[in-house]
């Protein structure tokens, strides 16, 4: 029970000190979350109020089931973009079907995350290598920022790829609304300034360091308040500046998500993508924050926490949510001690949607677009291209491929391309395992690579050490190596495979071993195994392979050689090498210090 | 030059003895290949003569560029099925566009194989694990056999999945043509008998063993000859038995394949699949035969050989080809010595298409269908399900998934599902690398798992040995392990990662190491590395990571501990353990002999 309800653990030690710390953090996060929720809902193509709804019950659900003490969940940029793409594929933005699709995405994503948590399938997230995630986020940031330009310019434009976006922006340019552009550009400039300079400016005028850091995060709230004032005082609405308009007042509507299996089937792939990407993002934030306080999180339970949050979103008119980076850092810095802070934030947002929504009527859409642009451009990391290039050409290929395809073909094609490239390159890297031909170190029971050490070997016995677990990706390479080494040594009659470094043999590799054995048999050569690990042996013992094996299985390589080439081995055993200390291992490839 | 033209190597030693051996083998393979070529062309939905065309120039091209001495290329069952599926998706079988699509597939497949050979991309074939190939071939065999039943029954039916096939067969059943069924059933029964009993029967009547083996392979030719006679003598054509009809007489038409980029783009995924599957099949046959004579083949050059063969097919009105199992074994058994035997076979087939085609007019289609059914059912290996289940549930999942999806959703979905399952399961298997907490074996410089050995460790230093290369699939697991182990030991101030078993660190894992370092730093703990291998160190030296590293990099783990916990280490160094022989390694998990 404790396993699935972390609240039972931290809830028992909850006291007044924790309460006041959590309340303060919740207040600050609430202020920050209001403009963010509105903006990300708009990015997802949804009415702004949906963003508020997605920031109430999901936070409570995560507080009950999540393992991170300080993660703040809610709408985030990348998941909003993915929602817009997926819902836009089945309905027209602004329509009732579009909202239904967004709610269905939250439901599916909640079920998927829950199932992944219960069946411990979190490893699926490992498919997303770091270059793929980094490239995807950079490209998404560029796409999102570009898509928001239309609100800054006050024109109609849209699209899911850079080509579509650029074309429609250029087409719309002549209709730019200058007052909107003025508001949007001013807000963008202010937000950039606030992000990079406000903190220093506050400290300069004497605000204490800690409070300055908090206040610097309120840039978007200031921009929202000032722009509402400007619209009201200058009557900018009449000048063509688009405003948010009526935001329904009240708590989120509790309702069963629509049961439409056709729609669910159509949205399933997108929901899977949203789940995995949201999970990866959230866990990395949660882990980083947990480490700062020497706490730890449980990724499998995080899946359940995020799953519960998304189900809560689906049942209260929201859309997919996950843990956000910026807000979690604020929550952490503001001193949140337990997930209860999230629940208090939910109360704050609920209060806002009960009482503050009328104030938002005059909020210019361009200001929301500006907060999105400034937030997502901070995610764009072009320097990663250079850094990754210098470390590994392969990882660079995955990174650049993901960025390019995401920009040119859209988010779903981009992430799939990235995964395909990294899996292929990983298979390529591991497809040629290191295999050493061994000889005996004179005077010891050690066997080492004949290319690197002064060792003794019998001409009729070929000893090969395989330095990798055997699986379908490298099984054929082992066949090649054995065949080549045997073809190069016509006098060989016995082949001994040293399996000390083999941690597993899958069915493909077993098939390869059988092929190797049969091929060697056709050439009059026996195959032996040595130093097979226990678990590997247990598995082999269940097959025909060991029964058919033309040679033997030896506990140690020395034992094998003593049996197959007794003369050479006796000779090598006797010839001690004075330069060797038998207690020391012989490093194959000596490590070096960086100079 | 020799590298890309293996003919320059074997051609220099060509003499009269080799010539006569090759000529004999070519004669036998020609006789076997004529009915096969016609049948597989029919399976691919093409006019029978296309099968003959695909068995002429491609064989000559492979003889020049291939590295296997005995591989016989030409139309094969699985590739014909894939061709039918791909061409059927863009054109109606029997139409001119359908033939154009088949030729385009040969062209694309030739270019893909050639490119893979030149850029050494043969490793892509490793994506197809053994269970996936085995499941795919079994399911294809069942699909192919079922699809040919319509010719045996003499009805119209079709489809690309078992459901479609079964439904259309049941619908057509009432229109069964009884004379056709009689011919088809007789041919099928005869061919099954010939395959399993003819050899023994021939030996029984005194035919020498070697000749009996050869003659037993001529079952299809006998069935063809006898059925033509029956049609002519009994006038079965008038009774509704479908015959092959006019087969154009003459050599293949040399022509440029049509330049239609739209068509090429549509066929590209299928051509990729055909290339990879054809390559895997062909290489495994070639390698098995080469091993029997202690020869070896070069997989990268095989790609070039098969690529050239497919280009030759495209320029001479053929369709995709690859190395076939049955015919290569016949070629080998008949004593072929060099690839020249393939060129002589090409001459034989050319002669047949010049002079024998009029004889094929009365050949019943049902007999060709019977040869296909008997050939492909021998590929079906249901026992693999049981064998794989007992060896590994994971590999069983890949095998069963491939069979099911291929049968239910068709060949392309089947192979993609299989690849996805095996890649996911491989990532799952390698996603949790073995990590051991180490302590020093008293009196030695060895460090071993504290859970398995009686060792000494300092409370402030945590030594971890990672037993796997680090890549995106396990990078996050390492983060988890370090965080968990540190969280469990509040007294730890130093963490030393022993990298003796780490052969590589990709960009994702580097990112994880940086995260681990920063998280440890936040908790006041330093991170050190020990026993980093040379190539790994070279790569790390190009990054910021080593410059920021909070701790040091040590040549040996003992050196690290002597530096970080000098008191404990001095103590452990002094306490020799009398029960240990320092010359012997300490087996972590002792190997066992099967009982």
pLDDT digits (tens, 9 = 90+) for A539-563: 898 888 988 899 999 988 999 999 9
Contacts of A388 in chain B (CB under 8 A): 507
Please name the member of A467, A510, A533 whose beta carbon is closest to the beta carbon of B591.
Answer: A533
Q: Three-state SS for A508?
A: helix
> Does B307 or B126 have the greater pLDDT score?
B307
pLDDT (0 to 100) of residue B495: 96
For A530, the closest chain B residue by CA position comes to B591
Please name the member of B473, B510, B590 whose beta carbon is closest to the beta carbon of A126.
Answer: B473
Is 90 exceeded by the pLDDT of residue B345?
A: yes
First to last CA, chain B: 53
- Inter-chain CB pairs, A–B, below 8 Å: 252
What tokens does B163 get? 């459901």
Please name the member of A296, A428, A499 whose beta carbon is closest to the beta carbon of B123.
Answer: A428
Is 60 exceeded by the pLDDT of residue A581?
A: no
Please name the member of A428, A475, A543 whose beta carbon is closest to the beta carbon of B391.
Answer: A543
Q: What is the pLDDT of residues A292-332, one digit of tens each?
A: 776 778 888 999 999 999 999 999 999 999 998 888 888 88
Burial class (CB in 10 A: 0-12, 13-18, 19+), B313: buried
Kindly state the average pLDDT of the residues B184-207. Answer: 90
Best probe of the A interface among B70, B123, B577, by most A CBs < 10 A, is B123
Q: Do B391 and A510 touch (CB under 8 A)?
A: yes
What tokens does A368 get? 């929301």
For B385, the closest chain A residue by CA position comes to A507
Closest chain A C-alpha to B589 CA, distance in angstroms:
6
Q: What is the pLDDT of residues B389-416, one digit of tens each?
A: 988 888 999 999 999 999 998 888 888 8
Please name the member of A422, A473, A584 whose beta carbon is closest to the beta carbon of B445.
Answer: A584
Kindly state the average pLDDT of the residues B570-587. Answer: 61
Please name the member of A294, A523, A532 whose beta carbon is closest to the beta carbon of B523.
Answer: A294
Kindly state the average pLDDT of the residues B216-224. Answer: 85
Give all domains of chain B, ordered by start, each with its CATH number: 7-247+259-423 (no CATH), 435-574 (3.30.750.24)
pLDDT (0 to 100) of residue A576: 65
Distance CA A441, CA A448 (A): 7
Q: What is the pLDDT of residues A110-137, one digit of tens each?
A: 999 999 999 888 877 777 888 888 898 8
For B130, the closest chain A residue by CA position comes to A508
What tokens does A228 get? 């509402």
Closest chain B C-alpha to A395 CA, distance in angstroms:
6
**Which string of DSSP letters, residue by residue, matches A547-584?**
HH-SS-EESSHHHHHHHHSHHHHHHHHH---TT--TTS
Distance CA A141, CA A134 (A): 11
Alpha helices in A91-177 (DSSP H): 96-118, 130-153, 162-172
Q: Do B299 and A480 touch (CB under 8 A)?
A: yes
Is 50 exceeded by the pLDDT of residue A595?
A: no
Distance CA A198, CA A192 (A): 9
Is 70 exceeded by the pLDDT of residue B590?
A: no
Contacts of A125 in chain B (CB under 8 A): 476
Please name the member of B126, B399, B556 whose beta carbon is closest to the beta carbon of A431.
Answer: B126
Is 70 exceeded by the pLDDT of residue B587?
A: no
Q: Do A130 and B519 touch (CB under 8 A)?
A: no
Contacts of B422 in chain A (CB under 8 A): 472
Residue A495's DSSP bridge partners are A462, A527
**Which string of DSSP letters, residue by residue, matches B148-208?**
HHHHHHT-----SSHHHHHHHHHHHGGG--HHHHHHHHHHHHHHHHIIIIIHHHHHHTT--
Kindly state the average pLDDT of the residues B354-369. Answer: 91
Is 90 exceeded by the pLDDT of residue A428?
A: no
Kindly state the average pLDDT of the residues B181-187. Answer: 95
Contacts of A119 in chain B (CB under 8 A): none
Per-residue CA distances from A4 to A9, A300, B40, B212 (Å): 10, 10, 58, 70
Q: Do B472 and A126 touch (CB under 8 A)?
A: yes
Q: Do A426 and B473 touch (CB under 8 A)?
A: yes
pLDDT tier, B271 (very low <50, low <70, confident <90, very high otherwise): very high
Closest chain A C-alpha to B411 CA, distance in angstroms:
20
Q: Do B392 and A553 touch (CB under 8 A)?
A: no
- Could you tell me which of A493, A517, A498 has the C-alpha nearest to residue A556? A498
Q: What is the pLDDT of residues A246-276, one digit of tens each?
A: 888 888 888 888 788 889 989 998 999 999 9
Q: Do A395 and B126 touch (CB under 8 A)?
A: no
Is 70 exceeded by the pLDDT of residue B578?
A: no
Closest chain A C-alpha to B375 CA, distance in angstroms:
23
Q: Three-state SS for A252?
A: coil
Contacts of A474 in chain B (CB under 8 A): 126
Kindly state the average pLDDT of the residues B359-372. Answer: 91
Distance CA B114, CA B109 (A): 8
Kindly state the average pLDDT of the residues A504-521. Answer: 89
Kindly state the average pLDDT of the residues A456-479. Answer: 89
Between strands A526-530 and A553-554, the pairing is parallel
Distance CA A112, CA A173 (A): 42
Is 80 exceeded by the pLDDT of residue B1?
A: no
Closest chain A C-alpha to B537 CA, distance in angstroms:
7
Q: Three-state SS for B557?
A: helix
Q: The dihedral of CA B526, B530, B533, B537: what is its sign?
A: positive
Please name the member of A127, A390, A427 whose beta carbon is closest to the beta carbon of B542.
Answer: A390
CB-CB contact of B402 with B142 (8 Å): no
What tokens does A81 get? 């973009």
**Which string of DSSP letters, residue by residue, matches A513-545?**
HHHHHHHHHHTT-EEEEES--HHHHHHHTTSSH
Please name the member of B123, B290, B592 whose beta carbon is closest to the beta carbon of A537.
Answer: B592
Closest chain A C-alpha to B75 CA, distance in angstroms:
25
Is 90 exceeded by the pLDDT of residue A230?
A: yes
Closest chain B C-alpha to A472 CA, distance in angstroms:
5
Please name the member of B388, B467, B533 whose beta carbon is closest to the beta carbon of A507.
Answer: B388
pLDDT tier, B58 (very low <50, low <70, confident <90, very high otherwise): very high
Mean pLDDT of chain B: 88
Burial class (CB in 10 A: 0-12, 13-18, 19+), A215: middle
pLDDT (0 to 100) of residue A577: 56
Q: Do A523 and B126 touch (CB under 8 A)?
A: no
pLDDT tier, A1 (very low <50, low <70, confident <90, very high otherwise): low
> Does B379 or A90 have the greater pLDDT score?
A90
Is 70 exceeded by the pLDDT of residue B582?
A: no
Residue A74's DSSP bridge partners are A322
ipTM of the complex: 0.73
Site of tokens 């998941």: A79
Site of tokens 């979103």: A313
Which string of b and e fits B337-370 if b means at least 16 CB within 10 Å? bbbbbbbbbbebbbebbeeebeebebbbbbbbbb
Contacts of A444 in chain B (CB under 8 A): 583
When mean pLDDT is compared across A155-169, A333-347, A472-486, A566-580, the lowest value belongs to A566-580
For B434, the closest chain A residue by CA position comes to A503
Q: What percent of chain B has pLDDT over 70?
A: 96
Q: What angle do CA A280, A283, A284 make, to 5 degrees?
A: 85
Closest chain A C-alpha to B54 CA, distance in angstroms:
29
pLDDT (0 to 100) of residue B536: 86
Contacts of B393 in chain A (CB under 8 A): none
Which pTM value belongs to this model? 0.75
Per-residue CA distances from A287 to A65, A279, A295 (Å): 16, 12, 9
- Beta strands per DSSP E along B410-456: 435-440, 447-449
- Taking the mean position of all CA atoms in its chain, how far away is CA B262? 29
Is 70 exceeded by the pLDDT of residue A193?
A: yes
Kindly state the average pLDDT of the residues B147-167. Answer: 90
Please name the member of A474, A480, A546 whose beta carbon is closest to the beta carbon of B594.
Answer: A546
Q: What percent of chain A has pLDDT over 90?
A: 43
Kindly state the average pLDDT of the residues B310-319. Answer: 95
At what angle are helices A130-153 and A162-172 packed, to 10 degrees? Answer: 10
Contacts of B587 in chain A (CB under 8 A): 531
Contacts of B523 in chain A (CB under 8 A): 291-294
pLDDT (0 to 100) of residue A579: 54
Q: Do B427 and A127 touch (CB under 8 A)?
A: yes
Is 60 exceeded by the pLDDT of residue B580?
A: no
CB-CB contact of A139 with A163 (8 Å): no
Residue B147: CB atoms within 10 A of its CB come to 26
Contacts of B584 in chain A (CB under 8 A): 445
Closest chain B C-alpha to A436 CA, distance in angstroms:
14
Q: What percent of chain A has pLDDT over 70?
A: 96
Closest chain B C-alpha to A439 CA, distance in angstroms:
17
Per-residue CA distances from B455 to B444, B446, B447, B568, B572 (Å): 10, 10, 8, 11, 9
């Amino acid at each position: 029970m404790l396993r699935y309800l972390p609240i039972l653990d931290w809830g028992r030690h909850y006291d007044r000190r924790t309460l006041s710390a959590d309340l303060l953090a919740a207040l600050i996060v609430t202020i920050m979350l209001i403009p963010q929720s509105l903006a990300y809902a708009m990015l997802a193509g949804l009415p702004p109020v949906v963003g508020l709804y997605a920031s109430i019950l999901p936070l409570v659900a995560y507080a009950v089931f999540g393992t991170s003490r300080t993660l703040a969940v809610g709408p985030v940029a990348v998941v909003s973009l993915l929602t817009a793409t997926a819902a836009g594929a089945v309905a027209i933005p602004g329509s009732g079907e579009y909202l239904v699709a967004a709610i269905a995405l939250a439901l599916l994503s909640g079920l998927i995350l829950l199932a992944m948590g219960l069946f411990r399938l979190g490893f699926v997230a490992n498919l997303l290598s770091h270059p793929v995630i980094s490239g995807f986020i950079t490209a998404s940031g560029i796409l999102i920022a570009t898509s928001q330009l239309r609100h800054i310019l006050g024109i109609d434009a849209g699209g899911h790829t850079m080509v579509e976006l650029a074309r429609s922006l250029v087409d719309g340019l002549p209709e730019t609304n200058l007052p909107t552009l003025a508001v949007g550009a001013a807000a963008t400039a202010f937000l950039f300034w606030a992000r990079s300079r406000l903190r220093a400016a506050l400290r300069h005028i004497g605000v204490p360091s800690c409070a300055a850091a908090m206040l610097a995060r309120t840039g978007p709230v200031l921009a929202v308040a000032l722009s509402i004032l400007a619209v009201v005082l200058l009557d900018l609405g009449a000048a063509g500046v688009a405003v948010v308009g009526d935001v329904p007042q009240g708590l989120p509507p509790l309702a069963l998500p629509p049961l439409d299996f056709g729609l669910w089937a159509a949205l399933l792939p997108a929901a899977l993508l949203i789940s995995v990407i949201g999970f990866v993002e959230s866990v990395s934030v949660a882990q980083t924050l947990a480490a700062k306080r020497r706490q730890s999180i449980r990724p499998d339970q995080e899946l359940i926490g995020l799953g519960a949050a998304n189900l809560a979103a689906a049942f209260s008119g929201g859309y997919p949510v996950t843990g956000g980076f910026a807000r979690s850092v604020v929550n952490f810095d503001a001193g949140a001690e337990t997930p209860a802070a999230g629940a208090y934030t939910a109360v704050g947002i609920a209060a806002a949607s009960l009482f503050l929504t009328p104030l938002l009527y005059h909020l210019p859409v361009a200001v929301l677009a500006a907060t999105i642009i400034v937030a997502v451009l901070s995610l764009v990391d072009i320097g990663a291209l250079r850094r990754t290039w210098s470390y590994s050409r392969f990882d660079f290929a995955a990174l650049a491929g993901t960025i390019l395809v995401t920009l040119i073909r859209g988010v779903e094609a981009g992430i799939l391309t990235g995964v395909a490239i990294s899996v292929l390159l990983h298979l390529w890297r591991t497809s040629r395992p290191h295999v050493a031909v061994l000889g005996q170190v004179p005077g010891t029971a050690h066997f080492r690579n004949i290319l690197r050490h002064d060792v003794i070997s019998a001409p009729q016995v070929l000893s090969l050490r395989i330095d990798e677990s055997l699986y379908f990706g490298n099984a054929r390479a082992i066949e090649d190596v054995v065949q080549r080494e045997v073809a190069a040594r016509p006098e060989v009659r016995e082949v001994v495979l040293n399996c000390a470094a083999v941690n597993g043999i899958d069915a493909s590799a077993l098939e390869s071993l059988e092929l190797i054995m049969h091929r060697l048999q056709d050439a009059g050569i026996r195959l032996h195994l040595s130093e097979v690990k226990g678990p590997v042996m247990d598995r082999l013992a269940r097959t025909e392979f060991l029964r058919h094996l033309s040679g033997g299985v030896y506990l140690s390589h020395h034992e094998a050689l003593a049996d197959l080439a007794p003369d050479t081995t006796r000779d090598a055993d006797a010839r001690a090498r004075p330069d060797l200390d038998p207690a020391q291992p012989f490093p194959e490839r000596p490590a070096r210090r960086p100079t």
